[in-house]
Amino acid sequence: MSVIIVGADHLGCIPKELDRIGISKIQHLNGRSGQKIRGKMPDKADFIILLYDFVNHNLAYKIKKIADNKGIPIIYAKRSWPSIYLSILEHRQELKKVGLNLL
């Protein structure tokens, strides 16, 4: 299972916690500039986590548009593990379709 995390400069314990629930491949784009992606996602990902409290608005808009066009699920959360986990649980049915099975 793979994820792209957009936003924040540092992820802290988030990668370790994601690994615990079965998400082992993590790509991170800091949220400073919308110019970094130029219309492309870095690699194939099962879903996207957008950290809305640490992201450039133009980058957030571009990511949302790309995710919609490619049919990649996107969840929104603050840069904290409880917020991310709660968003994952709220979107459990959508994420189950891409292979994330939570207990």
Encode pLDDT of 45-100 as tens digits: 899 999 998 888 888 888 899 889 888 999 999 999 999 999 999 999 999 888 88
Q: Confirm whether 102 is domain-assigned.
A: no
By the 8 A CB rule, do 50 and 74 touch? Answer: yes
Q: Confirm whether 91 is domain-assigned.
A: yes
Q: Confirm whether 64 is domain-assigned.
A: yes
Q: Which CATH number fits the domain that encloses residue 75? A: 3.40.50.10050
pLDDT at 34 > cutoff 70 = no
Q: State residue 25 phi and psi, 5-degree precision.
A: -100, 115
Burial of 16 (0-12, 13-18, 19+ CB in 10 A): exposed
Count of domains forming the chain = 1
Q: Confirm whether 49 is domain-assigned.
A: yes
The pLDDT tens digits for 85-98 are 999 999 999 998 88
Q: pTM higher than 0.95, yes or no?
A: no
Q: Confirm whether 65 is domain-assigned.
A: yes
- Alpha carbons 70 and 61: distance in angstroms, whole number: 14
% pLDDT > 90, the chain? 48
No. of H helices and E strands in the chain?
A: 4, 4
Q: Confirm whether 103 is domain-assigned.
A: no
- List the domain range (segments joined by +) for residue 36: 2-96
